[in-house]
Amino acid sequence: MLAVIAALGCVAIAVFQAALALGAPLGRAAWGGTRSHLPSGLRVASGIAVVFWSFGAAVVLARSGVGATFLPDVAARWGTWILIVVLAIGAVMNAASSSPWERYLWAPLALVLAVLCFFVARS
């Protein structure tokens, strides 16, 4: 159950990043929050983030044995720990942001997802 919740969190981030990559005016809630529409470089970065977070969802599901059977066990094991580190760093960076969206939405979400992934990794 924790893995499914963590995977859904990763998918939610991927959907948000996809919206940014496609030009949605949500830039105040991402990448430092300095502009509502992202420049092309950050839109590309958001596109890359979509791939990362989609893969993160698959990794967590594979680690728990719920799905993503195409991933080898070693990739699921190490990938989950890498995801924990990335999420923890993201929580700290978002907490330090000048954007209220990043401080009050993304920082807590990243922290909760890191904890969920930790429990999945330990199981």
Burial class of residue 57 (count of CB atoms within 10 Å of its CB; 0-12, 13-18, 19+): buried
Position 5 pLDDT exceeds 70? yes
Matching residue, tokens 């995801």: 83
**What is the distance between the alpha carbons of residues 26 and 37, in angstroms, rounded to a whole number?**
7
Per the structure, the count of domains in the chain is 1
Position 36 pLDDT exceeds 80? yes
Position 68 pLDDT exceeds 70? no
Position 111 pLDDT exceeds 90? yes
- The stretches of 1-123 forming alpha helices (DSSP H) are 2-21, 40-64, 73-95, 100-101, 107-122
pLDDT band per the 50, 70, 90 thresholds, residue 34 = confident
Q: Give percent above pLDDT 70 in the chain.
A: 99
Q: Give percent above pLDDT 90 in the chain.
A: 85
Structural domain including 6 reads 2-122
> What amino acid occupies position 67?
G
For the chain, what is the largest distance between any 2 Cα atoms, rounded to a whole number of angstroms?
41
